[in-house]
Structure 1
Amino acid sequence: METLLIRLKNLETQIKKFDTDFILNTKQLRIYITRAEVIRLLEISEDTLDLLVKSSFLNISKKGECGVTDFLLEDVIWLKNQRVDLMNHSVILELKKHKKKLRK
């Protein structure tokens, strides 16, 4: 129960940290945001987002309404916290090599 409360508190913090539209999945305690929100939060282009998806940095977590793809906010926050130049595609490819180490 304590772990659940900690996760809820963390989610609340994440929501407050980002001014974003979100879908909260209360069963799994997951927050999903749309493609447009990811682009806005990470300040990236559509092409860069496609590369991030292709590189498995951002997984399309589920299909939203009308077939819109939604992303897990936790993944977006992790990427944002890496503080790298996501517009530089070679940086993304370099990050991909070290992804397993970075995620720990």
Structure 2
Amino acid sequence: MADQEKQIQQLEQRATTAEKQIEQLTKQLSGGKPGGNMEPRLRELLKLMEEDRVECESIRSQRNELKEENERLRKQVGKQDYRIQHLLKTIAELEAKK
């Protein structure tokens, strides 16, 4: 889980960086500063940002599914522990009667 959180943070940081770069490049384009054709670079950054967002959503979805599964398993373990305690108690009572 910690690894997924770290991945999500890294992806969000990359997306933020890409957004800042896009903003800077857009300002360069609108300012008419010489620097070559920036449109292909902007498109590349937008594509990378979208890929990161898709990956981030996928990781979040997996994390949420794992949290739900973890909760179900915890409940199941709790029920089994309860049953085991009562079975052991019953066995102890039966052995004490012998």
Indicate the TM-score class for this superposition, using the shorter chain for normalisation.
under 0.3
- Would you tell me which structure has more helix in proportion to its own residues? 2
TM-score normalised over the length of structure 1: 0.23
- Who wins on radius of gyration, i.e. which is larger? 2
TM-score normalised over the length of structure 2: 0.23
- Would you tell me which structure has more strand in proportion to its own residues? 1
Higher relative contact order (CA 8 A, sep 6+): 2
